[in-house]
Amino acid sequence: MLVAGGAGYIGSHTVRLLQEHAVPVVVLDNFSTGHRAAVRAPCVEADLADSEPLRLVFREHRPKAVIHFAAKCYVGESVVEPAKYYRENVVHSWNLLEAMRAADCEQIVFSSTCATYGVPREIPIEEGHPQAPISPYGRTKLAIEYMLEDYSRAYGLRFSALRYFNAAGAASDASLGEHHEPETHLIPLMLRVASGRSEEILIFGDDYETRDGTCVRDYIHVEDLADAHLRALRLLEAGRQQVVCNLGTGRGYSVREVLDVARRVTGHPIPARVVARREGDPAELVSGGRRATELLGWTPRRSELEQIVRDAWNFQCAHPDGFPT
Ligand code: UDP
């Protein structure tokens, strides 16, 4: 199994789960945002920009399948630097698909996102909801979904596109977790305040049409996401052509509700200040989520918000500075 981007947040948890299930893994990562310390599997340091090392990886390791996490994932940055997102996400995914095609590797599990839906017309968001992304990030992920569909039809590629809602939490033993530079995500930022490394959390808008005016999101535990990848892989191995699923819990929490949980878990008052809305934030994103249960037999096991925040907090206490660079 080749895991592109296996040193990143969701990738590293998935690599570990694969290893626990005795699946042989090779990680391919350029370590631009991933962390060496997050992976205990054979690693090839290479960039998906470069076709030659990619070709060699397939020749040497002969993977039957690929899980593809390697991507840029900041919505705001993608608005300012779309060229970077089209290159890193679309062009590099194309390079990977071409390397797979040349090596007759026919299965791929791809990290997609609820950002491909854009501003939802209805909540919860089912997989059949129109995909009309509003950011370059979401558009690049949708472009890759289209590419997978077309390769599937023309070349027999079997693929899974897993549309994550809000990935959060950390490994239950606190050995792996979320470490982004810069950090932009709500839960780790709140926990930074609780650990005294920043002063306050900024709430991006409290005038949305939601129960308390703050944005509602569907937080899904990173270990539950990892589990879904393994299940999707098994389905492809069994011969299924396409597996396209949302991965969420079907339950949304507002920013203020997350804050209450973080205060309870950490015992810290976590001062908060309301500021202007962040551009590109829909009021509410909650997954319909039935298809993952039906197709993959998947149900989130660790995604109670309190559990997510507790695991993230344990990771932050165990690794106050994140992974060593
Ligand atoms: N958010 C916030 N303050 C922050 C970071 C995030 O109020 O410092 C809000 C953000 O507007 C969104 C929610 O928290 O409604 C989750 O944001 P995050 O960046 O964690 O994930 P996203 O929904 O962008 O994938």
Residue 137 CA, ligand 1 centroid: distance in Å: 15
Which residue's CA is minimally distant from atom 5 of ligand 1? 186
Residue 19 lies in a domain: yes
d(CA 32, CA 83): 17
Q: Which ligand 1 atom sits closest to the C-alpha of 75? A: 24
What beta strand segments (E) does the chain contain? 2-4, 26-29, 43-45, 65-68, 107-113, 158-164, 166-168, 201-204, 216-217, 219-221, 242-247, 253-254, 272-275, 284-285
Which residue's CA is minimally distant from atom 16 of ligand 1? 186
Kindly give the pairing relationship between strand 65-68 and strand 166-168: unpaired
pTM greater than 0.75 = yes
Give pLDDT, residue 290. 87
Give pLDDT, residue 31. 93
Give pLDDT, residue 107. 98
Which residue's CA is minimally distant from atom 25 of ligand 1? 166
Give pLDDT, residue 153. 98
Residue 173 lies in a domain: no
Which residue carries 């804050």 as its tokens?
Answer: 259
Does ligand 1 lie within 6 Å of residue 184's CB atom? Answer: yes
Residue 147 lies in a domain: yes
Does ligand 1 lie within 6 Å of residue 36's CB atom? Answer: no
Q: Which ligand 1 atom sits closest to the C-alpha of 215? A: 15
Does ligand 1 lie within 6 Å of residue 189's CB atom? Answer: yes
Give pLDDT, residue 180. 86
Low-confidence residues in the chain, pLDDT < 70: 289
Residue 128 lies in a domain: yes
Question: Residue 287 gets which letter from DSSP?
Answer: B
Residue 275 lies in a domain: no
Which residue's CA is minimally distant from atom 1 of ligand 1? 186
The catalytic residues are: 137
State which residues form the domain around 224: 2-168+219-248
Residue 53 lies in a domain: yes
Residue 209 lies in a domain: no
Tokens of 43: 């690693």
CATH number at residue 146: 3.40.50.720
Give pLDDT, residue 325. 74
Kindly give, in sequence order, each residue whose CB lies less than 8 Å from that of residue 120, ignoring residues fewer than 6 positions away.
129, 282, 284, 285
Q: Which of 74, 77, 112, 76 is nearest to 93 (CA)?
A: 112
Give pLDDT, residue 19. 97
Residue 81 lies in a domain: yes
Q: Which ligand 1 atom sits closest to the C-alpha of 216? A: 15
Q: Which ligand 1 atom sits closest to the C-alpha of 205? A: 7
Q: Which of 166, 185, 285 to mutate to test the pocket of ligand 1 (most atoms within 8 A of CB)?
A: 185
* Tally of structural domains, the chain: 1
Give pLDDT, residue 289. 67
